[in-house]
């Protein structure tokens, strides 16, 4: 069925795969902006966006009204507005870097996806084969390396805007991103110490991490979120800081910085920053779920292979690679979207930290905690895996 695809040139195959993934991530990032407004509305006990509707959908009796209340057409309205609004270019900016900054924001956000596996299928022998764009042996490092380039968009945007508030915002952004990268990197080290057990070839890839969370037995089936709760917590907090989400929203705190580094931006260029932020959140949530949330395993102590075996009693084609692949991607995507909901929940629950508090938490609390955590697990793992 797919023979023609495998006959294509490898570069064209790669392009098609990459485009397919981007075509999933881009609309989800757009839909997240809508979900953010709707979740905010639910938490604040108001209806939220519920007006926009395409005329001929309104003619469908009940469904049309329901979809309108759900507010899904506001995604199209927002997207259309961003595309067709006048894209103004202020006179006092450095034009080259001003235009470059939103592009630089998008590139790392979408490039990190290549190293993140998002599903798996079972081959004829029942072995779990991960699905992803590039099965890199150093997946985690690749994600860290490429996502650390995201800081340039903030720096360039703030500097090129040539006005006070954007510049302050970009200074804060670069300091914050570099500060929290440290504890984030240290937090994942115990995971890779654990999965690089003696006798196995060394790897920094995600496939092994998920494999270790889907083994039989009490300790084998345990997700790393339970096994290493402190690591998971540090990673989660650092993820909030890295993606500039509340309560670490000092970078674009409207109250004191107007709109931070994208104050001077409008229309589609601003939209690119927005989509890049949500893409970062999506990829970050995906990495969190792979490391600490069991990846594509449906439940703790229930691996994908076990679930497929159970389903095999009910559905005849449950072992087909296509079915398992779609099922695992659906499970993984569901977990990622649950994480996105957590991001929004926290945003509308916790107040924003002051900038000095952000720095204090990063350097005086998170960093020592992550070093102590690393030491503890290094010693514990050395004893357990002797």
Binding-site ranges for another protein (CB under 8 A): 11, 97, 136-138, 141-142, 144-146, 148-149, 151-152, 155, 159, 167, 170-171, 174, 178, 181, 196, 201-204
Which distant-in-sequence residues (6+ apart) come within 8 Å of 220 by Cβ?
A: 212, 214
ω before 247 within 30° of 0 (cis)? yes
- Identify which of residues 149 and 230 has a Cβ nearer to another protein in the complex: 149
Cβ distance to another protein smaller for residue 271 or 284: 284
**How near is the Cβ of 203 to another protein at its closest, in Å?**
7
Q: What is the CA radius of gyration of the chain?
A: 22
Give 377's DSSP letter.
Answer: H
CA 291 – CA 304 distance, rounded (Å):
16
Q: Name the minimum Å distance from CB 150 to another protein.
A: 9
Shortest separation between residue 161's beta carbon and another protein, angstroms: 12
| Minimum CB distance to another protein, residue 205 (Å) | 10
For residues 73 and 60, the answer to whether their CB atoms sit within 8 Å is no
Nearest to 309 by CA among 330, 334, 327: 327
Closest CB to another protein among 128 and 204? Answer: 204
Kindly report the length of the chain: 386
Say how many C-beta atoms besides its own lie within 10 A of residue 215's C-beta.
12
| Nearer of residues 28 and 155 to another protein, judged by Cβ | 155
Q: How far is the CB of 184 from another protein (least distance, A)?
A: 12
Please say which residue, 208 or 347, places its beta carbon nearer to another protein.
208
Rounded Cα gap, residues 150 and 277, in angstroms: 10
CB of 163 to another protein, least distance (A): 13
Could you tell me which of 247, 156, 138 has the C-alpha nearest to residue 201? 138
Cβ proximity to another protein, 34 vs 276, nearer residue: 276
User: In this complex, which beta carbon is closest to another protein, that of residue 155 or of residue 339?
Assistant: 155
Sequence-separated (6 or more) residues with CB below 8 Å from residue 98: 89, 90, 157, 160, 161, 264
**DSSP E strands, 126-256:** 128-131
Phi, psi of 341 (to 5 degrees): -60, -40
Indicate the residue among 50 and 148 with the shorter CB distance to another protein.
148
The pair of structure tokens assigned to 54 is 């395409």
Q: Least distance to another protein from the beta carbon of 79, Å?
A: 31
Helix (H, G, I), strand (E, B) or coil at 159: helix
Question: By C-beta, is 246 or 250 nearer to another protein?
Answer: 250
Strands (E), the chain: 119-122, 128-131
Name the minimum Å distance from CB 149 to another protein: 6
Q: How far is the CB of 291 from another protein (least distance, A)?
A: 17
CA distances from 87 to 119, 132, 157, 218, 264 (A): 39, 36, 16, 57, 11
């Amino acid at each position: 069925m797919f023979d023609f695809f495998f006959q294509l040139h490898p570069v064209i195959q790669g392009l098609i795969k990459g485009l397919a993934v981007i075509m999933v991530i881009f609309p989800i990032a757009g839909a997240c902006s809508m979900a953010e407004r709707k979740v905010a509305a639910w938490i604040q006990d108001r209806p939220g966006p519920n007006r926009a509707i395409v005329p001929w959908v309104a003619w469908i009796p009940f469904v049309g009204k329901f979809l309108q209340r759900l507010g899904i057409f506001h995604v199209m309205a927002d997207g259309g507005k961003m595309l067709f609004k006048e894209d103004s270019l202020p006179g006092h900016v450095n034009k080259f870097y001003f235009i470059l900054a939103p592009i630089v924001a998008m590139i790392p956000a979408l490039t990190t996806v290549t190293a993140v596996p998002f599903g798996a299928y079972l081959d004829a022998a029942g072995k779990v084969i991960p699905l992803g764009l590039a099965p890199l042996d150093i997946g985690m490092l690749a994600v860290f390396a490429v996502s650390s380039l995201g800081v340039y968009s903030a720096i360039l945007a703030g500097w090129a805007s040539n006005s006070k508030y954007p510049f302050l915002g970009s200074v804060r952004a670069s300091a914050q991103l570099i500060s929290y990268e440290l504890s984030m990197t240290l937090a994942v080290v115990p995971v890779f110490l654990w999965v690089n057990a003696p006798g196995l070839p060394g790897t920094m890839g995600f496939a092994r991490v998920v494999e270790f969370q889907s083994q039989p037995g009490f300790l084998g089936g345990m997700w790393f979120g339970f096994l290493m709760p402190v690591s998971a917590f540090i990673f989660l907090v650092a993820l909030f800081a890295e993606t500039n989400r509340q309560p670490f929203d000092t970078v674009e705190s409207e109250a004191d910085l107007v709109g931070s580094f994208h104050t001077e931006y409008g229309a589609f260029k601003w939209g690119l920053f927005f989509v890049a932020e949500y893409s970062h959140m999506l990829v970050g949530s995906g990495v969190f779920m792979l490391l600490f949330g069991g990846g594509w395993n449906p439940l703790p102590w229930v691996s994908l292979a076990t679930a497929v075996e159970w389903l095999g009693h009910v559905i005849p084609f449950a072992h087909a690679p296509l079915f398992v692949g779609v099922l695992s991607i659906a499970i993984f995507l569901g977990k990622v979207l649950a994480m996105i909901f957590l991001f929004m929940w926290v945003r509308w629950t916790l107040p924003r930290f002051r900038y000095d508090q952000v720095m204090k938490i990063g350097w005086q609390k998170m960093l020592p905690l992550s070093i102590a955590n690393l030491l503890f697990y290094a010693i514990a793992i050395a004893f357990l895996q002797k």
